[in-house]
Amino acid sequence: DAGVIQSPRHEVTEMGQEVTLRCKPISGHNSLFWYRQTMMRGLELLIYFNNNVPIDDSGMPEDRFSAKMPNASFSTLKIQPSEPRDSAVYFCASSLFGRESNQPQHFGDGTRLSIL
Amino acid sequence: QKEVEQNSGPLSVPEGAIASLNCTYSDRGSQSFFWYRQYSGKSPELIMSIYSNGDKEDGRFTAQLNKASQYVSLLIRDSQPSDSATYLCAVTLAAGNKLTFGGGTRVLVKP
């Protein structure tokens, strides 16, 4: 079975450029999560969607960050304009959310982002 | 106080010994608990989930949950060098499916 698919795997760009990260969740999963991981701050939740609807975006650091989920099989995380402090590994994860219990989240391989 | 706390380590364990990892959480409403393993440069990988008090065993791994004391632990029996990684504890609240992660415990298994 295909897992969570993220692209690109690596991105190096200059400060001020727009960055778009992409994610395809596991088929049948109805929740999608975007995380950022750095040595200093660990793994931080940025935003998550249930059934394509954003539920909690309190972790989005500022207005330069935006996320969309136009359908059940695709999501994007955009940074515009990018800054060096945005350099991190960005993970996408998906899970099956239901009333009975919380199923575990499964992570993609991540996008390693470097802003010069 | 952090919502989910773990000792950052490193926890150094001789090969073949038992590694014991602990995690405490602050929200009494927490209902679902997970342990993830993350190798350097890789993504977190689920190794255990536990939802009710007591022990849950899966191969060499045992998760233990005590909701009254608000802690969850992970035991790794017969530790192998391939178990060297960072182990992340994650917790969800009853009302939603948002995961809160601890900072992780780095485990080093020495041959």
pLDDT tens figures, A23-66 = 999 999 999 999 999 998 899 999 999 999 999 999 998 899 99
**Nearest in space to B16 (alpha carbons), one of B77, B74, B60, B78:** B78
Look at residue B1 and tell me whether its pLDDT is greater than 70. no
CA of A102: which chain B residue's CA is closest? Answer: B97
Size of interface A-B (CB pairs under 8 A): 47
3-state secondary structure of B81: helix
- Do the Cβ atoms of A42 and B101 come within 8 Å? yes
More confident residue, B95 or B49: B49
pLDDT of residue B93: 72
Share of chain B above pLDDT 90, in %: 83
List all residues of chain B from 20 to 59 with a beta carbon under 8 Å from chain A.
Answer: 31-32, 34, 36, 42-46, 49, 51
pLDDT of residue A2: 84
pLDDT of residue A97: 82
- In the DSSP assignment, the letter for residue A63 is T
Partner B contacted by A34 (CB < 8 A): no
Q: What is the pLDDT of residues B56-93, one digit of tens each?
A: 999 999 999 999 999 999 999 999 999 999 999 999 87
CA-to-CA distance for B101 and B89, rounded, in angstroms? Answer: 6
pLDDT of residue A101: 62
Average pLDDT, chain A: 94
Which of A4, A105, A111 is the best substitution to test chain B (most B C-beta atoms within 10 A)?
A: A105
Under the banding of pLDDT at 50, 70 and 90, the label for residue B46 is: very high
More confident residue, A110 or A99: A110
- In the DSSP assignment, the letter for residue A16 is T
Share of chain B above pLDDT 70, in %: 97
- Do the Cβ atoms of B97 and A97 come within 8 Å? yes
pLDDT of residue B106: 97
Strand order in the sheet with B4-6: B4-6, B19-25, B71-76, B61-66, B54-58
Under the banding of pLDDT at 50, 70 and 90, the label for residue B94 is: low
- Do the Cβ atoms of B103 and A45 come within 8 Å? no
